[in-house]
Amino acid sequence: MQQLKTTPFHERTSALCQPQNWRKWAGYFAAGSYEHTLDREYWAIRNAAALIDVTPLIKYVIKGRDAAALLHRVTTRDIHKMKVGQVAYTGWCDEEGKMIDDGTVSRLEERTFRLTAAEPNLRWLTMNAVGMDVSITEVTDDVAALSFQGPNTRKVLNRVAEEPVDELRYFRLMTNKIRGTEVTISRTGYTGDLGYEIWMDAKDAIKIWDTLMEAGADYGITPVGILAMDMARVEAGLFMLDVDYTSASHAWIEPQKSSPFELGLDWTVALDKPGYFVGRRALEREKREGSVWKMVGLEVDWVGMENIFKQVGLPPQIPGMAVRGSLPIFVGNVQVGYASTSSWSPLLKKYIALAHLQRPYYEIPAGGEVGNDVRMEITVEHHRQHAPAKVVKLPFYEPEWKK
């Protein structure tokens, strides 16, 4: 049985984690929440500065003469166009154009990249690198990482970083020092808000944590667990492996697999890039013929849901965290899809969901924001009921200061 590891921040996070509700994330313990309710942690993401330990992200350093060529071959992005200091979000597919995993590619130097992933991909990368002049090294345990998210994060970083981060553009990175300690800071995150990710040597983790906590005290800095981050990422229309899609390498049957187009990642698929990449033919065919499925947003009609609960004498029952569970979606009496994650949005004051719908039900008129009327299954007093909902464009929330 595999022993779960602790991250280099565990000395601090374990002392702060009041409910001790640890979750398993890529072989590590990760704090679910630091308090018994999620309110303060969620609002730190949206109003202040949230400090999230994201060390369990799988991390590879890919370097050598053919490093760019390998990543160009295995991802859907045009890696050769990336400049040093640029970060690209991408998925990678099998030959049938179905997603294996997703993550970020950072061009650290001309011939050095860092790839993050949700799950181990070393064998797959190595198989695709046969005959190439490239080295692939997993550095997950060696590189600690913090996601620093929220509108006050720039102010806090400017207090402690040797170089100001004001000019750091969205999806770019810089080498910097925090109180003399070398770090890489990228303008990235998983919350849909202004935010940064700070990458450091594992031995420096506690020092960086303490420095940020001290400097951020006047700015509402709050340690935040993955449950509050889950609510924020649904508002941002961001999906999660093994929750909103199944890796093609783990799927038992064909319908469990998803393509980048089906997940709304059209903008990451560079069909105009030169040469072969894994899944190219299948993705070109899907682009021509259209996708059978598509992930969209759902907004549940509050009054309609309230009426269903009222019939049994109850106020609406709203879960206190994002629900990672499949909920059938209907048009008439026909099931046309399912919601994979649903959540109350504290900011928007709406019950929202990431939903996978069949064609034509996912379609939204050109230039429009709202699509079909559908119904989402909810359970009221042990009975399955259907709450009215509308198909909407993703993301649900995108503040202007994010980019």
Which uninterrupted H or E stretch holds 223?
strand 221-223
Q: Taking 70 as the threshold, does the pLDDT of residue 72 lie above it?
A: yes
Q: How many CB atoms lie within 10 A of CB 7?
A: 24
For 185-238, write each residue's pLDDT tens digit.
999 999 999 999 999 999 999 999 999 999 999 999 999 999 999 999 999 999
User: How far, in Å, CA of 94 to CA of 103, rounded?
Assistant: 15
pLDDT band for 1, please (50, 70, 90 cuts): low
pLDDT band for 367, please (50, 70, 90 cuts): confident
The pTM (predicted TM-score) of the whole model is 0.96
For 177-187, write each residue's pLDDT tens digit.
999 999 999 99
Q: How many CB atoms lie within 10 A of CB 273?
A: 17
Task: Name the percent of the chain lying above pLDDT 70.
Answer: 100
For 245-262, write each residue's pLDDT tens digit.
999 999 999 999 999 999
Cis peptide before 319 (omega within 30 of 0): no
Backbone angles phi, psi at 324, to 5 degrees: -95, 80
Calculate mean pLDDT across residues 337-346: 98
Dig out the tokens for 21 from the structure: 């509700």
Give pLDDT, residue 368: 81
pLDDT band for 308, please (50, 70, 90 cuts): very high
Mean of per-residue pLDDT scores for the chain: 97
Helix, strand, coil % over all residues of the chain, rounded to 5: 25, 35, 40
Complete DSSP assignment for 289-345? H--SEEEEEEEE-HHHHHHHHHTTT------SS-EEEEEEEEETTEEEEEEEEEEEE
End-to-end CA distance of the chain: 43
Tally helices (H) and strands (E) across the chain: 9, 19
E-strand spans in 73-164?
Answer: 87-93, 99-109, 112-117, 135-138, 143-149
Closest CA to 119 of 102, 99, 144, 98: 102
According to DSSP, the β-strands at 135-138 and 28-31 are unpaired
Greater confidence (57 vs 371) lies with 57
For 88-132, write each residue's pLDDT tens digit.
999 999 999 999 999 999 999 999 999 999 999 999 999 999 999
- Alpha-carbon Rg of the chain, whole angstroms? 21
User: How far, in Å, CA of 234 to CA of 120, rounded?
Assistant: 24
Instruction: Read off the amino acid at residue 232.
Output: A
- Structural contact between residues 361 and 280, judged by C-beta atoms closer than 8 angstroms: no
Give pLDDT, residue 365: 87
- Structural contact between residues 103 and 174, judged by C-beta atoms closer than 8 angstroms: no
Q: What angle do CA 376, 256, 252 make, to 5 degrees?
A: 135
Which uninterrupted H or E stretch holds 29?
strand 28-31
Cα 357 to Cα 103, 115, 226, 340: the distances in Å are 24, 31, 27, 11
Q: Which residue has the tokens 């808000």?
A: 193
Cα 146 to Cα 10, 39, 50, 76, 369: the distances in Å are 12, 21, 10, 27, 34
Angle, in degrees to the nearest 10, between helices 226-235 and 39-47 = 50
- Dihedral of the CA atoms 230, 235, 241, 247 (nearest 10)? 170
Cis peptide before 360 (omega within 30 of 0): yes
For 388-401, write each residue's pLDDT tens digit.
999 999 999 999 98
